[in-house]
Amino acid sequence: MDRRFEVRKAEMLADCEVRPAVFQGITTRLEEFAVPFVACLHRPEQREHAHTYLGGLLSDVERKNAEAIAYRYDEERQGLQTFIGTAPWQYKPLLIELARQVGRALGEPDGVLALDPSSFPKKGHHSVGVAQQWCGRLGKVENCQVGVFLAYVSRRE
C-alpha cells in the first residue's frame, strides 16, 4: 500500500503547480469575499475581530494562532481568543450566504456535495485534535488529526 500511495501522491503533487499570477490581488479578493460574511456578524467587535483574524492569517506571522495575530496588530489577545474559541455567534447566516454564493456561481440542477474525511499523522503537542484514532492514510490506529472536507461539484466547476 505504501508504494501505491507514494506513486499517487507524486502524481497529485505534479498536478498542484499554481501559476504566480493566481495570487495577484488575492488579499483584495479575499477582503471582498469576506464582506457579506462579516456583515452577518451582529456585534461590531465581532466584525472587527473577523477582519483582524483574516488579516493575521494572511500576514507574515509565523504561528497563525489568536495570540500571535493579536500581538501582530498590537491588540490584547483575550478579545481575539474569545472570538475564535468561546464567543457565541450564529453560524447559520454564514452558511446561508455561502450556499447563496455557490448556487449563484456554480449552481446546477444535478450538482452534488462531496464529503471527504481525511486523516493526517501528527506528532507533538502543537495541533488541536491530535489523538489515538484510526488513520486511514496509515491504515491503523495512530496519533493523527482528522478533517472532514466538503466540496460542491457540478458540471461547471
- Of residues 114, 115, 103, 116, the one with CA closest to residue 156: 103
pLDDT in tens, 85-143: 888 888 899 999 998 988 888 888 888 889 988 888 888 777 777 888 888 888 999 99
Q: What band does 59 get if pLDDT is binned at 50, 70 and 90?
A: confident
- Burial environment of residue 113 by CB neighbours within 10 A (0 to 12, 13 to 18, 19 or more): exposed
CA 145/CA 21 separation, integer angstroms? 32
Cell numbers 506513486 correspond to 7
Q: For position 30, what pLDDT does the model report?
A: 86
- Amino acid 4 reads R
pLDDT in tens, 10-55: 888 877 777 778 778 888 888 888 999 999 988 888 889 998 998 8
Cell numbers 456535495 correspond to 113
Q: For position 157, what pLDDT does the model report?
A: 66
Could you tell me whether strands 140-153 and 112-121 are parallel, antiparallel, or unpaired per DSSP bridges?
antiparallel
- Which cell numbers in the block locate residue 136? 486511514
Mean pLDDT on 76-85:
90
- Is there a contact between 155 and 108 (Cβ–Cβ < 8 Å)? yes
For residue 132, count other CB atoms closer than 10 A to its CB.
9
- Amino acid 79 reads G
Q: What share of the chain is helix, strand, coil (3-state, %, to 5)?
A: 50, 20, 30
Higher-confidence residue: 87 or 79? Answer: 79
Higher-confidence residue: 1 or 85? Answer: 85
Per-domain residue ranges of the chain: 1-106, 108-157
pTM exceeds 0.75 for this model: no
Least confident of 22-26, 56-60, 130-134, 145-149: 22-26
Q: Does an H or E element contain 113, and which?
A: strand 112-121
For residue 11, count other CB atoms closer than 10 A to its CB.
9
Q: For position 95, what pLDDT does the model report?
A: 92
